[in-house]
Amino acid sequence: MAEPAIVIIGAGPAGVRAAQALADAGIRPIVIDEGRRSGGQIYRRQPDGFTRSHATLYGTEAERARALHTCFDGLEGRVDYRPETLVWHISDGQVWTLGPDGHQSIPYDALILCTGATDRLMPVRGWHRAGTYSLGGSQIALKAQACAIGSQVVFLGSGPLLYLVAAQYVKAGAHVAAVLDTAPFAARIPALPKLLAQPAALWNGVLLTRTIKRAGVPILHGVTPLDITGGEEGSGAPDGAGVDTGPAARDGRSSSRAGTVDTGAVSGVTVRTADGGERHFACDAIAMGHHLRPETQLADLARCAFAFDPAVRQWLPVRDPDGRASVPGVYLAGDGARILGARSAEASGRLAALAALTDLGFPVASVDLASLRRDVATYVRFASGLAQAFPWPVEQAAALPDDAIVCRCESITAGELRATVTDTGAQEANRAKAFSRVGMGRCQGRYCGLAAAEVIAAAAAIPVERVGRLRSAAPVKPISAGSAGKAGA
C-alpha cells in the first residue's frame, strides 16, 4: 500500500497528538504551522534565548506543556514540519500555503484541521482605543515577549481565559487593577454538576481565582461595561482604585469629564455593577474577551457543513464522534471544531488521526477509539457547564450605543449597522456586510462577526441563527497583492 498524503494544519495540542498517532502508524504527515514552533497558543513557546521555566510560563499546565513539547520534538524526522507557514486556501483536494519557501499547493488524501481558536469579543464603547487588547493578545505578549500590555491592566469579560491570563499577569509581577466579569457569580451554581465532569479543571479555576484575590486584585461579577475612556478622562482616579460615580444617567455621567482631551489612549473603564451603581477603574491597558470562538475559515473553504449551536450561539462545523467532517477525507479536531479546551484537543486530535487511518484502510484498535470517545464526551459536558456559568452577554449587543464601534477594521458603528438593517432590510450577515462593510476588513470578521450578528438580530427582532454566519473567502488572511494569482498560475 502506497503511503497516503495526510496533511495536518496546526501544531497545537490537537495537531501534535494527531501527528504522533500517524507517525506511530508509520506515516509521515505534513504538519503546517503558522507559528514559529509547535505548541499552539495555550502552550506557546518562548523565543530562543529566553530562560523562563515551564512552571513560570504555564502554571498549573506546566507538565502538560512540557509533555506536548517533548512529544513533538521527539517526532523530528518522522513528520514533515513546516513552521511559519500560512494556509490561505483549500480547494480541489489541495491546500495552498505561503511560507519561507514561497507559495506551494499541497495535495492530500486526508486533511486534519487543528486550527485552534481566537478570542470571542463583545464590543464596548471605546474599545478601539490604543491599549485595548484581546485576552489572547495579552497572553502572547507575556509568553512570547516577556512583557505586560501596560503598567496598570484591567481584565474585562468572562470565561476561564479571563482568570487564567489575569493570574498569569499577577504571577509575572504585573499590576492588575481589576478583574471585571460580566457573568453573575450565581450562574455558576446551576452549572456545577456539569463542571464536575472535569474536577481537576474546576479546581484549577479555583486556584487561579485564589491567586488573583491573594494579590489584592478586586474581582467584580455581573458587571455591564459602559465605556472605555481615553485621554485625560478619569485621570483623577488613584492607581488601581475603583471610583464610585453613582447611578448617574448615561448622558450625565460624561458631563463630569466634559471638555477633556481625548488622546486616543486608554485611561480607564467604567462599568455598571451588579447592584446598579457605577465604578470607574483607572488603567492604561485593557485585556478583554468572552471565552473563545473556533477558527473555522478553513473548514468553510473545505466546504464542510455547519450547524447552529444554541448553547454557545455560534455556527460550528459538523463532525461525527470521531472527528469526520461532512466532506470525505476532511477531519476536525481541537478548538477549531468546538471549544472544549487543550486537554480535549489532545484526545480529539488523536481520535481524528485514528479515524483517518481507519478510512484509509489501516488497522486501528477499537478499544483506543472507544476510550478517546469517552474522554472527549466528558469535556463536552464540562464545556456545556462553562457556557452556562459564563454566558455570552447577548444583552450587551442590543444595548450598545449607536456611536460604539462594532467593526474596528472598517470603523463601522452600531448605529451604522442598525441603519443598514432598517434602511435596506438586510437581516442576513453577508447581505449586511455588503451594505455596511462590517467584517470586510483585515480580520475578515474574526473579531466582530459574532457581535455584529447579535446587533443585527436585535435590530431586526429575529433569532440570531436567522442572521447566519459570514462566509469565508480566500485568502483567509492578508497576503501580498498578486501573490495568490502567481500561486495559481
380, 194 Cβ separation under 8 angstroms:
no
Domain ranges of the chain: 6-118+292-387, 122-290, 394-467
Model confidence over 132-145: pLDDT tens digits? 999 999 999 988 88
Distance CA 354, CA 448 (A): 35
Q: pTM for the full model?
A: 0.89
Q: Decide: 216 and 69 in contact? Cβ < 8 Å.
A: no
Query: Cβ distance 376 to 347 under 8 Å?
Result: yes
489 CB-near residues (< 8 Å, 6+ apart):
none
How many CA atoms are closer than 13 Å to the CA of 351, on its beta-carbon side? 26
Residue that wins the pLDDT comparison between 478 and 349: 349
Q: pLDDT tens-digit profile of 93-119? A: 999 999 998 999 999 999 999 999 999
Q: In what order do the strands lie in the sheet with 86-91?
A: 86-91, 94-99, 102-107
Helices (H) and strands (E) in the chain, counts: 17, 23
Q: Does domain 6-118+292-387 have CATH number 3.50.50.60?
A: yes
Q: Are 212 and 170 in contact (CB under 8 A)?
A: yes
Nearest Cα neighbor of 113 from 134, 133, 130, 90 is 90
Closest CA to 390 of 211, 154, 221, 193: 221
pLDDT confidence tier of residue 62, bands split at 50, 70 and 90 = confident
> Does 22 score more than 50 pLDDT?
yes
* pLDDT higher than 60, residue 232: no
Contact 319, 299 (CB under 8 A): no
Q: What is the pLDDT confidence band of residue 484, given thresholds at 50, 70 and 90?
A: low
Comparing 70-84, 334-348, 470-484, the range with the smallest average pLDDT is 470-484
Q: Whose grid coordinates read 480535549? A: 344
Looking at residues 172-186, what average pLDDT do you find? 96
Helix axes 429-436, 414-424, angle to 10 degrees: 110
Convert the pLDDT of each residue in 256-306 to its tens digit: 323 333 448 999 999 999 999 999 999 999 999 999 999 999 999 999 999
Examine the pLDDT at 85 and tell me if it is beyond 70: yes
- Non-local (6+) Cβ contacts of 327 within 8 A are 302, 303, 304
Q: Which amino acid is at 247?
A: P
Q: Which fold has domain 122-290?
A: FAD/NAD(P)-binding domain (3.50.50)
**pLDDT for the residue numbered 330:** 98
Let me know if the fold of 122-290 is the same as that of 394-467.
no
Residue closest to 68 by CA, chosen among 323, 403, 346: 346
The average pLDDT across 86-93 equals 95
Answer whether CATH 1.10.10.1100 is correct for domain 394-467: yes
Distances (CA, A) of 184 to 58, 298, 392: 28, 35, 11
